[in-house]
Amino acid sequence: MARVTRSNTAAVSSPPPTKKAKKGKGKAEAQDEDVDDSGVKSKAKMKAQAAAAKVKAKKAKKAEQEAKSSGSDASSIKSKVAFLLEKGHLHYAEVNALKRSFDAQAPFGNSAIADVIRRVFFDGSGSLTTQMAFGKMLQLKAILKALLALVIAALHHAVNEYCDGYHTEVKFKTNIVGPIYEHYMARLNYVKQKSPNWFKKFQESLWRDIMNISKPGFLHAHDYGEDPADDFDEVDFDALEAGPGWSTSATGLANTHS
């Protein structure tokens, strides 16, 4: 039998890596890390962009809805203003622009008219013009027709500032309000002509209603009063009546007033 011998061969091992090989390996590993890091950053960036796009889309949708809502609101306001100014609907009692309704049997009965008159001419401090108007009404025990026309014209002017669906300030000037005043004065005169008894009662009842809830700030300060006797409480009328009458020192003439 042939003898088989096994030669002792040394194990073959890989040669140690050179510096160049080590450098290449390190570079490759670094590139792998860069790739991984780049991938993470890319994903994060895409995620952030998607989130930003979502927020932007949401804002755009909201802006679109607001624009539609704004347009709808403006259109609604224009419609209401048109109704209030049409045929002077704004001065009727129970006027409702939303329902487009009013009390046709109560012209000039809008509570806003009485409220403005009360605040300006009854509860205000009282300018000279205001005092003169109040004094005249005090004599008549009725709200002046000219005052009604002025207040309704002022309300018309205020409402008309929204005629485009949004507020646009317009100066309250004579050349602007004057024609509106004349317009409503003509309407007041027409109603007075057609229903004189009703109109008279309306002026008087409006006066009483306002007086019942008002405290004129300048009423007593300027010697106005409901009872004329309040202004002559220091006068002795018996002695006045029994006396010789009133004479002027300049002429010495006696003037008796019956």
pLDDT tens for residues 49-93? 777 777 777 777 776 666 555 556 888 999 999 999 999 999 999
Averaging pLDDT over each range in 16-30, 132-146, 232-246, which range is the top one?
Answer: 132-146
CB atoms near residue 185 (< 10 Å) = 17
How far is the CA of 225 from the CAs of 28, 135, 204, in angstroms?
107, 10, 17
**pLDDT value for 258:** 42
Residue from 110, 204, 191, 106 nearest 156 by CA? 110
* pLDDT surpasses 50 at 187: yes
- The answer for residues whose C-beta is within 8 angstroms of residue 97's C-beta and 6 or more apart is 80, 81, 83, 84
Q: What is the pTM of this model?
A: 0.57
**Domain positions in the chain:** 29-228
Q: What is the rounded CA–CA span in Å between residue 79 and residue 83?
A: 6
Secondary structure class of 247 (helix, strand, coil): strand
What is the mean pLDDT of the segment spanning 206-221?
70
**pLDDT value for 36:** 55
* pLDDT surpasses 70 at 12: no
Cβ proximity of 66 and 49 under 8 Å? no
